[in-house]
Amino acid sequence: MLWAVLALIAGAAILLSMWHWRAAGHRSRPAFVQADGPHFVIDGRPFRFVGANLDLMFEEQTRSRMPETVRFAAGNGIKVVRIWASAEGGVEEGRPVNTWLRDHSFRRRPGEWNEAEFVFIDQVLVEAAHNGLRVQLCLANWWRDTGGVTQYLRWAGVEGADDDKYPFGINNEKAMLFYTNETARRLYREHVEKFATRRNSITGTLYRDDPAIFGYELINEGQCLIGRWAERRAWLTRPGSPNRYGRVELSFCRRASRVACRSCFTEY
């Protein structure tokens, strides 16, 4: 399903220290989307585009239509698509008041990865490239629908962040521990590194060498995000994917030191 609301993702991008890269002599690579100051370019030419969220990942029905959905997006002028690349815990764990369903999980518990989910991402990237699309991978979620930060905190031994007495089933005060709890941070870092160092099982191409990947979104709708956390997490992707930029989608952008927050949006 192609969500109806289209947005210029570039206008909502948070570029994390890309200027430092270029100042350090980072060399562009052919066909990769690069940041040139506040602009995106490909091979030195401006890259302006319309982007859309694609609902592909969590239900068998939408997965079965993946090729058709990607072709539909490309046929309607979309150039960049955003997809989920995260889901933590069992499909019944931590479900909030709403009933948004999912049949799949990237990681049922610490140390137990579901390779089939990564292979499906490989397939999406191949199909996207075939249709001239770039893909933005969302690596984490604030909300409980996909496990999210409260699942990371449960794995870290922090209880009570998921609490149905609070709006959207999250005790924000406790959920903020995701940014500082060392175990939660380590578990999240492991997930980021899985993607930053992955090799596509179909093409054999390392993700860092695949121009179809537009960038990594560190977290969806992170609340009261600490800019230093975002900057450090963005650096995790750089050794493995030196051609990527990191992006954070914020619901409440209260403090973002050394992070360029161009806009904050929560609706798709």
Q: Where are the domains of the chain?
A: 9-252
Q: What is the pLDDT of residue 101?
A: 63
**pLDDT confidence of residue 119:** 96
Give the global pTM.
0.76
Enumerate the β-bridge partners of residue 33: 42
Percent of residues, the chain, with pLDDT higher than 70:
68
| pLDDT for the residue numbered 242 | 52
pLDDT tops 60 at residue 20: no
- Per-residue tokens: 199: 């090799």
Q: Return the CATH fold of 9-252.
A: TIM Barrel (3.20.20)
How confident is residue 34, by pLDDT bands cut at 50, 70 and 90? confident
Beta strands in the chain (DSSP E): 33-36, 39-42, 45-46, 51-53, 80-84, 107-109, 112-113, 134-138, 213-217, 222-223, 246-247, 250-252
Residue 214 has pLDDT above 50, yes or no: yes
CA distances from 162 to 27, 107, 177, 179, 250 (A): 44, 18, 12, 16, 20
Tell whether the torsion through CA atoms of 118, 81, 2 and 192 is positive or negative: positive
The residue with greater pLDDT, 219 or 226, is 219
Minimum mean pLDDT range among 1-5, 86-90, 184-188, 218-222: 1-5
HEC secondary structure over 223-245: ECCEHHHHHHHHHHHHHHCCCCC
| Region 76-90 average pLDDT | 92
Contacts of 35 (CB under 8 A, 6+ apart): 15, 18, 19, 21, 22, 41, 245
Q: Residue 28 has what DSSP assignment?
A: P
Percentage of the residues of the chain whose pLDDT score is greater than 90: 47
Write the pLDDT tens digit of every residue in 143-189: 988 889 999 999 999 999 999 899 888 999 999 999 999 999 999 99
What is the residue-averaged pLDDT of the chain?
Answer: 76
Separation of alpha carbons 217 and 247, rounded Å? 5
Taking CA 59 as the corner, what is the angle to CA 145 and CA 68, rounded to the nearest 5 degrees? 130
Per-residue pLDDT at 96: 53
